[in-house]
Amino acid sequence: MTDSALARWERRTAGVLAAASLLFLASYALRVLGHGLPGPLRDACLAVTFAAWSVFLVDYVVRRRLSGQRWPRFVRTHWLDTLVLLLPLLRPVRIVQAYDRVQLRHDRPRFSLHARVIVYAGVSTLLLGFAASLAVYHVERPAPGATIRTYGDAVWWACTTVSSVGYGDMAPVTPLGRLVAVALMGCGLALLGAVVGAFSSWLLQAFARDGERPPGNSPEASRGPDTD
Instruction: Provide the pLDDT for residue 222.
Output: 52
Residue 180 has pLDDT above 60, yes or no: yes
pTM of the model: 0.77
Query: 36-45, 92-101, 179-188: which has the highest mean pLDDT?
Result: 36-45
**How confident is the prediction for the chain on average, in pLDDT?**
82
pLDDT over 80 (residue 49): yes
Map out the domains of the chain as residue ranges: 1-88, 111-212
User: In the prediction, which pLDDT does 109 show?
Assistant: 46
* Spatial separation of the C-alpha atoms in residues 181 and 172, rounded to whole Å: 8
What is the pLDDT, as a whole number, of residue 1?
A: 40
In contact, 57 and 15? CB cutoff 8 Å: no
Whether 131 and 168 have beta carbons less than 8 Å apart is answered as no
pLDDT of residue 51: 96
Topology (CATH) of 111-212? Helix Hairpins (1.10.287)
> How high is the pLDDT of residue 134?
95
- Which residues 6+ apart lie within 8 Å of 106 measured at CB? none
The more confident residue out of 225 and 172 is: 172
pLDDT tens for each residue of 115-134: 777 777 788 888 889 999 99
Lowest mean pLDDT among 76-85, 111-120, 179-188, 213-222: 213-222
Cβ–Cβ under 8 Å, residues 198 and 178: no
Decide: 117 and 123 in contact? Cβ < 8 Å: no
pLDDT of the residue at 115: 74
What integer pLDDT is reported at residue 84 of this predicted model? Answer: 84
